[in-house]
Chain A
Amino acid sequence: MSDTAGNGAVLVVGGGISGITAALEAAEVGIDVFLVEKNAYFGGRVAQLNQYFPKLCPPTCGLEINFKRIKDNRKIRTYTLTTVKSITGGPGNFEVQLETMPRYINSNCTACGDCGQVCTDEIDDAFNLGMKKIKAAYLPHEMAFPRRFVLEKNACSPATLDAVKAACKYNAVDLDMQPQTFTLKVSSIIWSTGWNPYDANKITNLNYNSSQAIITNMMMERLAADNGPTKGKIVRPGDNKEPASFAFVQCAGSRDENHLEHCSYICCMATFKHISYIRDQYPEAKIYVFYIDLRTPGKYEHFREKFMADPNSTFIKGKVADIVAERDGGVTVIAENAVTGTKIHQKVDLCILATGMEPALGAQGKALGVNMDGNGFIVSDPERGMISAGCAKSAVDVYSSGQSSTAAALKAIQIGR
């Protein structure tokens, strides 16, 4: 036993695909694991995708089996709506303060949906990136795990709250729930806090707010998803027009010292994936991709080649630096084609900003004593008992996240032995 062994338990912060993987890898060799997630559900960004690389599976494919493994494993304890407040101690004897926000629905919930039926107050659907409204008593999404409703108490009138409480047959609505703080003692911490899509409003020259025809790549995932706001039909938000032309704006905020200095790695591939979505629905639509250079590493090259051969798709070397809203609901994107040396004003029906990954932990990480690099990614520091995994560590795809999460679990296990 090393002097950092302690109780051997591992805290995994962030319950997306990376956190789930790391938690399972550790728990399935018999380690005690606490898996905490800030959202009301596990699955993170992958749950929001329509399909994910490398095999273009729907998220149910990877997540469902993992949820099952978590449910079957007594070594994992899961916490949703929970964040880390403070950390004391060191490897082997961390004391971590956590706080769980009230869900206002207790574990009696069977997700029958009666509360949602009677709830009349609505909120923005965060899972669908605000592209539609949902009831304030809701299941975050069809596949949500834990399969339990959430009540957005602040958005409800007293009358609604009474109705919601009365509608529940199982006495699952608890309006008096309070935020709860608790302490966990662990030997090591895995940070798998993931990423947020970069805020497109910050890229002022792209005028994101000027037209509903400008969407982000994550919105495109939701538009294409069967459980999305349009039931999988790719249409223009606002007027539901079937777009005849699309523009992809690569590096929207990435590789830019005014925004995200790093390359977000996945956006080029995401764009090719979106072209595959579009081609399923609109075989003849015109597609224009504006890029600095296309980064499709390794075996993804074949995927790129396949879609670059498409006669209705045009690839223009030149970053879009201005977008103008048009009266007909479309937009004109403006770039210089660096190969021909002339400017292009391309009018399209729908414009997709390939926004990048911003590490989600942010400034809070510094306060918790986490070692972060200049771009906000967490530096793995096994000496200090803190290991990073997935997109919290660097901008990567799901496949690489799986690798780094398994590696993180191995490191964490060693600290606790």
Chain B
Amino acid sequence: MSMNVQPDLEFIKAMKEAGGDTLKQCYQCATCSVACPLSSDDKPFPRKEMILAQWGLKEKLIYDPNVFLCHQCGDCTEMCPRGARPGDVLGAIRAYAYRALGWPKALATLCSSVKNLPILIGIPAAAILFCWLISGGMHIPAGEQFARVGYTQFFGHWDFRLLAKNVLFIDLIMLTAVGIALTSLYKGISALWKGMEASIGLKDVPYRPSLVQFVKKFLWPSLIEILQHNRFRECTVNVDRVKGHRPLMLGFIGLFIVTCYSLFTQDVIGIFIPSMHGPISMWNPVKLLANVSAVAMIGGIGILWLNRTKMEAAGKATNTFYDWFLIWMIMGVGVTGLAAELLRIIGIPSLGYVVYYLHLIAVAMLFLYMPYTKFAHIAYRTFAMAFERYRESSYIKNPLNQ
């Protein structure tokens, strides 16, 4: 009897591209599962994930909560007797999972390769340029006007009180990006959750938590844990990442607050008090928060950038587009944002407008590509952590059944 074995070339290629081709070295000694400070006694990883990947059982991997619980601290890679680099392999599996769970598929595939970088930058660049062209706001203001309005009339100005022209265009661009991203994440997380439930053999649960119970018991504690960086701190080899990741995350939270404030004052209060339009005063506490957050973001991503460079030089991490694309995007957002602000303050409108245009591209990329790049971890890992709590809870482990 002859057997026709068709290797899953697509999966193998995906693992290679994302830096996981060392997985074939693994000989299942399970050192990694003990080395990993995050792996639990009942459901240890990454040994099992290594053999699932070797066998090409990608369906099992995509819905494996452990894949997302891994923080890639590299303790396993450090101790691996075969150089199979389980930490990097799990990173590659995550990259594959984001792609597999992502919607629309074409966009998810586009984000997986450095070859597509021109297209990835080109899409928002063209869309924003197109908006700029049709907005009619295509003129660079004189110094005195620039000082007064800053970039708030990038897409022009009209006297319609209820919605500023600039806001309309920015909303058009960013809300589209965010909308696609959120739809994708919603679909992805729903699929992941169902898959994770199936992976522990969960079919009929007599009692399910209500939304409030779910948030209170599983999601909120996970968010608190993420904020505190407790799992990051468990790492030994690469604990320095906390120094970068924490300011970066706090920076993001700060900027999120500022964006909400800005949206509220400019678009809601601004309807009644037109003076609320225009740049916020430098001494406004919110502006202060914005600047501190921006610095924290650039500083944080800078530390992570250096950290990764150092690790790659020491051969402790593989150079992959998957890891660097997110670092580049965040650095892009931070640097162009701060540069645009500085150019406004010192009053160079022409260059300021170019930098602001780049800033809009970077922000749009960060939003749009969030579900398909490493950035997706903020959603998928959070829900995996919530699931980890859920599967240990009495909803699943009914004490009466045991």
Contact call A343/B79, Cβ cutoff below 8 A: no
Q: Chain A contacts of B153 at CB under 8 A? A: none
Contact call A319/B83, Cβ cutoff below 8 A: no
Contact call A256/B81, Cβ cutoff below 8 A: yes
Q: Chain B contacts of A205 at CB under 8 A? A: 35, 79
In the complex, what distance in Å separates the CA atom of A414 from the CA atom of B271?
A: 104
Against A, the Cβ 8 Å flags (1 = close, 0 = not) of B239-276 are 00000000000000000000000000000000000000
Measured between C-beta atoms, what is the minimum distance from B48 to chain A in Å? 6
Contact call B34/A335, Cβ cutoff below 8 A: yes
- Quick one: given A292-B29, A319-B30, A321-B31, are A336 and B83 in contact (CB under 8 Å)? no
Contact call B34/A255, Cβ cutoff below 8 A: no
Contact call B79/A336, Cβ cutoff below 8 A: no
Instruction: Specify the main secondary structure of chain B where it touches its partner.
Output: loop
B137 at the interface (CB under 8 A from A): no
Contact call A342/B44, Cβ cutoff below 8 A: yes
- Quick one: given A343-B34, A343-B41, are A318 and B29 in contact (CB under 8 Å)? yes
Q: Chain A contacts of B33 at CB under 8 A? A: 318, 321, 336, 343
Checking A258, A335, A342 against B81 with a beta-carbon cut-off of 8 angstroms, the contacting residue is: A258
Q: Chain B contacts of A320 at CB under 8 A? A: 34
Residue of A nearest to B28 (CB): A338
Q: Chain A contacts of B27 at CB under 8 A? A: 255, 292
B42 at the interface (CB under 8 A from A): yes
In the complex, what distance in Å separates the CA atom of A310 from the CA atom of B164?
A: 83
CB within 8 Å of B: which A300-321 residues: 317-321
Total chain B interface residues with beta-carbon distance under 8 A: 21
Measured between C-beta atoms, what is the minimum distance from A208 to chain B in Å? 16
Residue of B nearest to A344 (CB): B41
Contact call A338/B30, Cβ cutoff below 8 A: yes
Residue of A nearest to B40 (CB): A343
B82 at the interface (CB under 8 A from A): yes
In the complex, what distance in Å separates the CA atom of A321 from the CA atom of B79?
A: 9
In the complex, what distance in Å separates the CA atom of A322 from the CA atom of B42?
A: 17
In the complex, what distance in Å separates the CA atom of A233 from the CA atom of B30?
A: 34
B47 at the interface (CB under 8 A from A): yes
Against B, the Cβ 8 Å flags (1 = close, 0 = not) of A179-211 are 000000000000000000000000001000000
Residue of B nearest to A261 (CB): B81
In the complex, what distance in Å separates the CA atom of A341 from the CA atom of B30?
A: 10
Residue of B nearest to A253 (CB): B81
Q: Chain A contacts of B34 at CB under 8 A? A: 320-322, 334-336, 343
Measured between C-beta atoms, what is the minimum distance from B43 to chain A in Å? 8
A251 at the interface (CB under 8 A from B): yes
Contact call B41/A342, Cβ cutoff below 8 A: yes
A257 at the interface (CB under 8 A from B): yes
Contact call B48/A319, Cβ cutoff below 8 A: no
Contact call A251/B79, Cβ cutoff below 8 A: no
Q: Chain B contacts of A317 at CB under 8 A? A: 30
Measured between C-beta atoms, what is the minimum distance from B78 to chain A in Å? 9
Q: Chain A contacts of B41 at CB under 8 A? A: 342-343, 345
Against A, the Cβ 8 Å flags (1 = close, 0 = not) of B7-33 are 000000000000000000001111111
Q: Chain B contacts of A256 at CB under 8 A? A: 81-82
List 8 additional A-B contacts (Cβ < 8 Å) besides A257-B81, A341-B43, A345-B41.
Answer: A251-B29, A255-B81, A318-B30, A318-B33, A321-B79, A336-B44, A341-B48, A343-B44
Closest 7 CB pairs of A and B: A256-B81, A321-B34, A336-B33, A336-B30, A319-B29, A318-B30, A343-B41
A interface, CB within 8 angstroms of B: 205, 251, 255-259, 292, 317-322, 334-338, 341-343, 345
Question: What are 18 inter-chain pairs, A to B, with CB distance below 8 A?
Answer: A205-B35, A255-B27, A255-B29, A256-B82, A257-B81, A259-B81, A292-B27, A292-B28, A319-B29, A319-B81, A321-B32, A321-B34, A322-B34, A335-B30, A336-B47, A341-B44, A343-B40, A343-B42
